[in-house]
Chains A and B, each alone.
Chain A
Amino acid sequence: MLKEFLFEVCSNHFVSGFEHINGDIIKRYFQPYTDSFEKDKLGSYIFKSSGSSDRKIMLAAHIDEIGLMITKILEGGFLSFISVGGINPASLVAQEVTIYGKDTIFGVIGIKPPHITSEEERKKPHKMKELFIDTGYSKEELEKLVTIGDIATVNREPLSLQGSVISAKAFDDRACVTVMLETAKELKKISHKSNVYFTATAQEETGIRGAKTSSYKIAPDIGIVLDVGFGKTPDMPSDSPELGKGPIVAYGGRLNSKLTKKFVDVCKKYNYPLQYEAVPAITGTDTEALQISRDGIPCILLSIPLRYMHTSVETIDLYDVEITGKAIARFINELDNSDLEEILCF
């Protein structure tokens, strides 16, 4: 079920600022396991699983993905674009894309043939400004179908590699939206006291905006932020977190150390594998907004190890997703039976 959801949600686009278009998919999967649904005004999806106490726990994973935005229709039917969120232009070369205009249009991003690319040009990295989308249409035809501001995404069907390792675009951060789905599923089985808010936040990639508005709306007692972390590859430092070895627990100034310790203790008690990272200051995640929402929200940050971040071949191990979801359900259950004030007091 997790894989089915993840593959379906990654086969559809949720480019930052346009998260409303395919929202029905998320609702279809989350609603059977939750009690109510609402959105904040920026388009974050908030599914609530009601508990018997007043306590509010917010889980946050962003639903939006990086994408492209059309800026100009050029002579010959080519399209100029900018990125929505951070994209390395090199990862766009020789990709197929879909443009969501009045119609859905296919296109490709090519580069000059190597035969006529000088030694000097080859040394220089590609710039977004120099790339364009080729649609095959004439300029006149294209003007009827596409307007400035329309968005586009790279085409990529999710792919199963060996075992539970899978690859697709937008696992950042839908792997973690899937973690929330697993937690919702687990919590459905038990009667929990806390009210749990599963929040698929909007516009993280363009400035952590949906987390700001949704956390204001929910006003939770604690926050559990879920994002992806840099998984180890041959060209990464040897102590990088690895796929298949559990979520990465973050320690740092943005996170509540006692709450983090509680999570670690729960995982140790139930034998969930963990990896660790030190994030001294900026986490670059929804934590930035949650931590300082209203009068402050104590947060923990868990990351799913992921290779090739912000490309169309992001790769994860589904095992990490599943056990993280289960571990969070355990954590919530243990918190229900603990004095939260005692944990949170400095």
Chain B
Amino acid sequence: MFNSELMKKLSDCFGPSGREKLIREMIMDEIKGLADEITIDPLGNLIARKKGNGKKILFSAHMDQIGLIVTHVDEKGFLRFANVGGLNAKELLGLRMVFDNGLEGVICQEELKDKEKLKISKLFLDVASTDKEFIKKNFRTGDMCVFKTEYYETDDCVICKAADDRIGCYILIEALKKHPPTENDVYYVFSVQEEVGCRGAKTAGYIIDPDLAIAIDVTATGDTPDGIKMDVKLGGGAAIKLKDNSIITHPVVKDLLTELAEENKIKYQYEILEFGGTDAGPIHTSKEGVPSGVISIPTRNLHTSGEIFNKFDVEECIKLVIATAEKE
């Protein structure tokens, strides 16, 4: 059964890269009592450990979401901004944004002749106030905001913001709830700053120094009209990543995940992403190297305010995480 309430809470919680306090607190609250040990590392990664004497396994899903950072508040009260994580100017235009204090704004553009040349530097945020005092009091350089969109679901799919990678967090929370009896020493990492260069995973990988690492993150799909050529589709099950720009999945890990999926009758699909990277990138080159892989959730409209994923795929991902956690 898909836990819509949890996913909605995760998606709605504020937490752009570097500002993960609220989402970290929310997840900590959610996993209270489930782990043997919960720590926060110096960069802010939330690490929940289920102790064991066996193999050290690290699962990582990032808590941070893409957003905007205010670079300048002008005299009239309009806010200029830069992107935090990969965002495209054309997709931003007209969107409603929300700050951690609940204040909102809408993204507008300068009057441009050539709309094709739209850049983020030509956009500004209108926070709907002509009161200079109000603006001065509430907005300053360095403030961050995120998409303001409503969570929506059908019987089989969900539309929400920050599915990247709150759905990964959802999977780890659900897996932790069903953590199997095992001798393995398992670390559920909710990492920070993935969207700006997988920075949290770098330090978490170094501290934990695992024998096996699996990132849980979203991936693109090839199932939309005139979309990218890719074999992954919604409803096709858990995607086992074979390559992206940050990793070539260790052959042993590829075989392990494939065998676990087949043994446990988990529907899976192989994924090759021709761009992007995940937490597995920095983790697999940490210290002397860590055999690593990625379990991906097929997701449409990545890095937009309406990312779409399939609930069945999510269930299959949870099963695969649990199977991996208990594999000797």
* Chain A residues near B270 (CB-CB < 8 A): 147-149
Residues in A whose Cβ lies below 8 Å from that of B287: 213, 216-217
Interface centre among B248, B251, B288, by most chain A C-beta atoms within 10 angstroms, is B248
Contacting residue for A84 out of B243, B246, B251, CB 8 A: B243
Given contacts A16-B248, A69-B243, contact A213 B272 (CB under 8 A): no
Closest CB in chain A relative to B258 CB, distance in Å: 9
What is the CA–CA distance of A41 and B291 in the complex, to the nearest angstrom? 7
**Is B248 within 8 A of A84, CB to CB?**
yes
| Assembly CA distance A71 to B245 (angstroms) | 15
CA distance A40 to B285 in the complex (A): 10
Contact between B272 and A40, CB atoms less than 8 A apart: no
Query: How many angstroms from the CA of A149 to the CA of B249 in the assembled complex?
Result: 10
CB-CB under 8 A for A207 and B288, given A82-B272, A82-B274? no
Residue of B229, B231, B246, B272 with most chain A CB atoms under a 10 A cut-off: B272
Question: How many interface residues does chain B have, given as a range?
Answer: 20 to 34
Alpha-carbon separation in the docked complex, A190 to B226 (Å): 65
Q: A69-B243, A71-B272 are in contact. Are A213 and B229 (CB under 8 A)?
A: no
* Nearest B residue to A70, CB-CB: B272
Please state if A216 and B251 are interface contacts (CB–CB under 8 Å): no
Within 8 Å by CB of A148, from B242, B245, B250, lies B242
Residues from chain B with a CB closer than 8 A to the CB of A214 are 288
- B 261-288 to A, binary, CB cutoff 8 A, 1 in contact else 0: 0000000001010100000000011111
A20 CB contact (under 8 Å) in B246, B251, B285, B290: B251
Taken together as a complex, chains A and B put the C-alpha atoms of A331 and B248 apart, in Å, by 36
| Residues of chain B in range 276-315 having any CB-CB distance to chain A below 8 Å | 284-291
Instruction: Say whether A95 faces chain B, with CB atoms less than 8 Å apart.
Output: no
- Asked if B254 CB lies within 8 Å of chain A CBs, one says yes
Is the beta-carbon distance between B251 and A18 smaller than 8 angstroms?
yes
Contacting pair B229 A17 (CB below 8 A): no
Supposing A17-B251, A147-B270, A149-B270 touch, asked if A42 and B285 sit within 8 A by C-beta, the answer is yes
Given known A-B contacts A16-B248, A41-B289, A206-B248, A149 and B272 have beta carbons under 8 A apart: yes
CA distance A143 to B287 in the complex (A): 38
Which residue, of B231, B289, B290, has the highest number of chain A Cβ atoms within 10 A? B289
Q: For window 26-68 of chain A, which residues contact chain B by CB distance below 8 Å?
A: 40-42
In the assembled complex, A209 has its CB within 8 A of some CB on chain B: yes
* In the A-B complex, the 10 residue pairs with the closest CB atoms: A17-B248, A41-B289, A213-B289, A149-B242, A42-B289, A217-B288, A148-B270, A212-B285, A209-B285, A71-B272
A-B contact pairs, 26 of them (CB 8 A): A17-B243, A17-B250, A18-B251, A41-B290, A41-B291, A42-B250, A42-B285, A42-B289, A72-B229, A72-B231, A80-B229, A82-B243, A129-B229, A148-B242, A148-B272, A149-B243, A149-B272, A203-B248, A207-B245, A207-B246, A209-B284, A210-B289, A213-B286, A213-B289, A217-B288, A217-B289
